Amino acid sequence: MTPVSLFTFAFLFALTTSVVLRAWLAVRQLHHVAAHRELVPFDFAASVPLADHRKAADYTVTKIRHSLTVLAV
């Protein structure tokens, strides 16, 4: 195996690993945020209304979906 093909293989492996890891973490966060959309965390319940929490969760879900689209492209 030539040094160029070895470097190419290492680069493609690192790139693929990075993309897969980023996608997995984004999907994991997406599911967590969507699952907890209806409940304000206890520490913030006194200062953050449920409507604002839902709005923030919706924004986060949209942002993650957009980042997954950009990652795929």
Name the pTM for this structure: 0.82
The answer, yes or no, to whether residue 3 has pLDDT greater than 90, is: no
Averaged pLDDT, 22-42: 96
Amino acid at 40: V
Per-residue pLDDT tens over the stretch 7-23: 999 999 999 999 999 99
Confidence of residue 52 (pLDDT cuts 50, 70, 90): very high
CA dist list (Å): 32 to 11, 14, 39: 32, 27, 12
Q: What whole-number distance in Å separates Cα of residue 25 and Cα of residue 43? A: 25
Q: For 47, phi and psi rounded to 5 degrees?
A: -115, -15
Gyration radius from the chain CA atoms: 19
Estimate the share of the chain in helix, then strand, then coil, as percent rounded to the nearest 5.
Answer: 80, 0, 20
Percent of the chain with pLDDT over 90: 95
